[in-house]
């Protein structure tokens, strides 16, 4: 079973309409490199009013990387290859508030990049690794630039409390 089929089954379990699942499959196929002509806008939302109770949001980071929300959780999707993992960790950091003279705990999102197979030092393997690193740098910059917005989205992936 492919990753796209697994996601489609999970969406069906949540009661997502078949028409919407088809659109999501097309989008995922594009990001996984199986289709080339479908373009995604930077961010689009399918409102609960028009599609039942399901809210979906996809934020395009680069030509190969996007962050997807099914209304329950956030997930990074990409077409860089199975050997590359792009993800993020949500953690806490303590900062000193100079005005209040207290330590405050803040939430933060940190990007994660992992390589899970061999990349040869020459040829296609090295080119794929370089390509993945370039897109990870864009992903990392997006997370840095949009930290506050992403934390709001993380705590409220379905947009229920806007």
Q: How many domains does the chain have?
A: 1
Portion of the chain with pLDDT greater than 70, in percent: 76
50-97 pLDDT per residue, tens: 455 556 788 899 989 998 887 777 889 898 888 888 888 887 777 777
In a domain, 104, yes or no: yes
In a domain, 83, yes or no: yes
Q: What is the DSSP string of the chain?
A: --HHHHHHHHHHHTT--HHHHHHHHHHHHHHTTS-SS----SEEEE-TTTSTT--EEEEE-SSSEEEEE-SS-EEEEE-S-TTEEEEEEEEEEEEEETTTTEEEEEEEEEEEEEE-S---SSTHHHHHHHHHHHHHHHHHHHHHHTHHHHHHHHH-TT-TT-
Res 118 pLDDT > 60? yes
Angle of CA points 117, 34, 28, to nearest 5°: 90
User: What is the domain extent for residue 104?
Assistant: 3-155
Q: pTM of this prediction?
A: 0.58
In a domain, 42, yes or no: yes
In a domain, 162, yes or no: no
In a domain, 160, yes or no: no
- pLDDT at res. 137: 94
Res 134 pLDDT > 90? yes
* Residue 68 β-bridge partners: 58, 75
């Amino acid at each position: 079973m492919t990753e796209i089929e697994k996601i489609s089954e999970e969406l069906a379990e949540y009661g997502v309409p078949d028409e919407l699942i088809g659109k999501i499959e097309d989008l995922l196929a594009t990001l996984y490199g199986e289709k080339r002509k479908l373009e995604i806008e930077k961010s689009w939302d399918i409102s609960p009013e028009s599609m039942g109770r399901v809210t979906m949001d996809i934020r395009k980071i680069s030509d190969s990387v996007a962050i997807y929300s099914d209304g329950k959780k956030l997930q990074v999707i990409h077409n860089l290859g199975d050997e590359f993992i792009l993800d993020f960790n949500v953690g806490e950091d303590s900062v000193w508030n100079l005005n209040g003279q207290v330590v405050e705990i803040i939430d933060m999102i940190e990007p994660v990049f992992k390589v899970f197979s061999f990349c040869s030092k020459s040829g296609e393997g090295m080119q794929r690794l370089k390509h993945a690193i370039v897109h990870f740098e864009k992903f990392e910059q997006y997370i840095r630039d949009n930290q506050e917005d992403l934390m709001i989205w993380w705590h409220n992936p379905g947009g229920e409390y806007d």
